[in-house]
Amino acid sequence: MAQNNNQDKIPGFKKRPTNGDDKSQRRGPKFSIYWIYGIVAILLVGYQLYNGATPTATTISDLQFRNEMLVSNDIQKLELVKNKDLIRVYINKDSLSKPVYKELLGDRWSIISKTEGPHFQFEIPDSKTYTGTTLAEFYKDHPDVKEVPIKIVSDPEWFGSILSYIFPLLMFALLFILMMRKVGGPGGGGGPGGIFSIGKSKATLFEKGTRVNITFADVAGLEEAKQEVMEIVDFLKNPKKYTSLGGKIPKGALLVGSPGTGKTLLAKAMAGEAQVPFFSLSGSDFVEMFVGVGASRVRDLFKQAREKAPCIIFIDEIDAIGRARGKNMMMSNDERENTLNQLLVEMDGFGTDSGIIILAATNRPDVLDSALLRPGRFDRQITIDKPDVKGRQEIFNVHLKPIRKSDKLDVLKLAEQTPGFAGADIANVCNEAALIAARKGKKEVEMDDFQDAIDRVIGGLEKKNKIISPDEKEIIAYHEAGHAICGWYLEHAYPLLKVTIVPRGTAALGYAQYTPKEQFLYNTDQLKDQIAMTLGGRASEEIFFGKISTGASNDLQQVTKIAYSMITVYGMNDKLGNISYYDPQQENYFTKPFSEETGKIIDEEVRKLIDTEYTRTKELLLEKKKQVEIIAKELLTREVLFQSDLEQLIGKRPFEEKKPADVVHDLHHTESSAETNGTEGSNAGVETPPVEVLPKN
C-alpha cells in the first residue's frame, strides 16, 4: 500500500528507518518447563527400579558360613565391611541352585539368584581377629577348602541409610514445587496458563523496545481512518495540545468494517508506530470454562494498563463479549454478560482513570450493546469501508512491491477490474498471480496472470477436465449471451467487463463480470434494469430452446431479494405506498411487522414486478435475437469474451458509459442483497453484485 503523505502532519510521529537495521533478532530454541518434569520423573523411577533390582542380602550365622558354604567351595568372593564388622558373601552362580541355598533364600531365591550379589551376610566380633586368626585356623583344619579372596570396603556411617529414605521425598517435593510454580502463573514465577493464573489477562504487551514490522506505510486506502488512529496516539503523547482549549482526550475508538478491510492491520501499524505501551488481545481471550474468569481478566488487564499508563488497549473481535444483553433470554449467558459489565465499569465507571485509550475492532457493530457504544466509552466510531478505485490502486502498489512484475502491468486497470475487493482480497489476487506465473515458468508476472488470478478469486479454480456435454455447453453459452445482451442494451445495467463459459470452482459453469458505477443511491429504473439483466439468462434459454434449465437458480435468488427490497424496504410500490417493513434493529424475531393480508399483497406485488421485467427482457432478446446468436456462437468457439470483443461483434454500447469505479458489494458473493447502505434517510441504497454465476445443475 502507498506511503501515507499525511504522517508528517501529526506531531510526534517519525518515520522508521528503512535500512537493514530493522531485522528482528534471532531467537534460540525455547526452554520448556516440561523437560525438568521429565528429568525428575526419570530419576525418581530409575532410583526406585534400582532399589528394587538390588535386594538386600540374607543374614546368616558364622557357623552356616563356615560349615555349609566355605566347606563346599561355593563362595566366589567375600567383602569385609571394616567399619561395620560385617562380611558379605557372594556365591557362585552355579552353586545357587543347590537345595541348601534355595532353602536359605526362600521366596527371594528367584530374584536374588539373578543378581551379582551379595547374597548373604553375617556379623563378626572383630574384623582383624576374624580374618587374621579365625579364617587362618579354619583353612589349616580343612586343607581341602580353597582360600577365598577378601576385599576390604567401607560404607558410610549415615549417608546411605538416610539417602534411601530422604531421596524419594526430595524428588516428590521438587516435582511438587515445579508443578506449583508452573500453575501459579506470573504471580508464582511460572508461565501463564496455569490454574492459579486463570484470572490473569492474556494480553500481549508491545513496548518501545518491542519490534513490530508493520507500520503505517503498509496501510493504504484508509487515509481517513489512518489519520484518526494516528491522532489517538498523539493524544497520549501531547495531551496538553488538546486539553489546553478545554477538550478531553477520547477514551476509546471502535474500528468498524467488513472482513478483510484492514481493521487489525491498522491496529498492528499502531503497535509498530506508537511510542506508548500497547496491549493487544482478542475478545475471546476473556472467555473461559470457569465462572468469573472473564471479569477477573478484565480487572487484571486494566490493572496492568494503569501501571503502564499512558497506554493503548486493543481488543480485536470485541463482539465476542460485547453482544447486547437481554436480547434473547433463551440464549442468555450470564458469564459473558458479567464480563461485559466489568468491561463497561472499567471503561467509564466510578473509579476509572485517564491515560488509557481503548481501541476495538468488529465487523458486527449491529450486535454490540448500546451501553458499550455510547460516548464516554467509545467516543469515536471509525468506519473502514472497502476501498474505491484510488484506494485499490494504492493497495495494489503495496502488495506488488515484493513481486517481480512486468513493466507493461497496468495497476489502474487492475483496480478498475476489482470492484468490491477489500485489502485482503487484493493481497490474495497478487499472491495468486505470482503463483500462476511461476506455474507457467515465467520470469515476471504479467497482466494475463492477474486476469487469471481475478477469475480464480471470483469463480474458483478452473475445471479444465470437467466433462460438459455439447448440449449443456450450448445452453450455458446462450444463457451467458442473454445476460451480456441485456447488460449491453439496458441503459441502467452495469457495463459488461467479461463473459466466460469456462467452468470454475464447485458450482460455477460460467459467469459474467460487470464493472459497476460508483453510486450509493439507486432509483426505480436502475433496479428494474438490474432485475431485467439478471433474468436475461433464463429468458434466452426459453427463447432459443423452448424450455428452461436449473442454471438460473442463482439469478432467481438475486432477483427475489432485489424485488422484495424494493417493495418492503424502500417503498417503491404504488399499491403499498411509502411504507417500510424492514426492522434494522431486528428486535422482532418471532413476529412480522405486517399482517397476513399485507403479506399476501407483498407477495403478489413482488411476483407482478418480476413477471413484468421478465416480459420486458424477453421482448428485448427477441428484438436482439441475431446479436444473441452471434455472442453465443463466439462463446462456444473462444469460451471467453471481453468488452472489446463485444464491440467488434455487435458494435459499441448505445449508452454513454461513465468511468467504472466501485461497488459496495463483495465480488466473492454470488448472490445479491438489498440491504441498506446507510441506516436511515437518504443514505439508503441497494447492494447489487457485479458478478453473475451460473450454478451447476
Task: List, by residue number, the catalytic residues.
Answer: 480
Angle at 395 between CA 517 and CA 7, to 5 degrees: 115
Cell of 659: 468511468
Joined grid coordinates for residue 515:
464493472
Distances (CA, A) of 78 to 86, 112, 296: 10, 17, 69
Question: From CA 249, how far away is CA 341, in angstroms rounded?
Answer: 23
Question: Is the omega angle on the peptide bond into residue 143 within 30 degrees of 0, that is, cis?
Answer: no
In angstroms, the CA 378 to CA 314 distance is 12
In 381-506, which residue ranges form alpha helices assigned H by DSSP? Answer: 389-399, 411-416, 423-439, 447-459, 470-489
Q: Residue 436: how many CB atoms within 10 A of its CB? A: 19
Total residues found in the chain within this entry: 697
Question: What's the gap between Cα 380 and its chain centre?
Answer: 27
Q: Residue 137 pairs with which residues in a beta bridge?
A: none
Rounded to the nearest 5 percent, the helix, strand and coil shares of the chain are 50, 10, 40
The CB density around residue 266, as the number of other CB atoms within 10 Å, is: 26
Q: How far is 490 from 620, CA to CA, in rounded Å?
A: 9
Residues 6+ apart with CB under 8 A from 179: 37
Alpha-carbon distance of 271 to 212, in angstroms, equals 7
Contact present, 406 and 436 (Cβ < 8 Å): no
Are 540 and 478 in contact by the 8 Å Cβ rule? The answer is yes
Q: How far are the Cα atoms of 12, 61, 80, 668 from residue 86, in angstroms, in the given order?
A: 86, 11, 6, 90
Burial 650-688 (b: 16+ CB within 10 A, else e): beebeeeeeebbbbbbbbeebebbbbbbeeeeeebbbbb
Work out whether strand 691-695 and strand 252-257 pair parallel, antiparallel, or are unpaired.
unpaired
Find all residues with CB under 8 Å of 86, minimum gap 6, and list them: 80, 121, 122, 123, 124
Question: What grid cell was written down for 257?
Answer: 468494517
Task: Write out the H or E segment, with its range, that includes residue 241.
Answer: helix 239-243
168 Cβ contact partners less than 8 Å away, ≥ 6 residues apart: 44, 47, 48
Q: How far apart are CA 609 and CA 606, in angstroms?
A: 5
Q: How far apart are CA 478 and CA 540, in angstroms?
A: 6
CB atoms within 10 A of CB 472: 14
HSE (CB half, 13 Å, CA atoms) of 296?
A: 11
Ramachandran sector of residue 586 (left: φ over 0; alpha: ψ -120 to 50; beta: rest): left
CA distance linking residue 680 with residue 695, whole number of Å: 35
Alpha-carbon 2 to chain mean position: 26
Question: Rounded to an integer, what distance in angstroms lies between the CA atom of residue 624 and that of residue 630?
Answer: 10
- Alpha-carbon gap, residue 500 to 691, rounded angstroms: 11
Q: Does residue 271 contact residue 219 with C-beta atoms inside 8 Å?
A: no
631 touches 556 (CB < 8 A): no
Rounded to whole angstroms, the Cα distance separating 518 from 525 reads 16
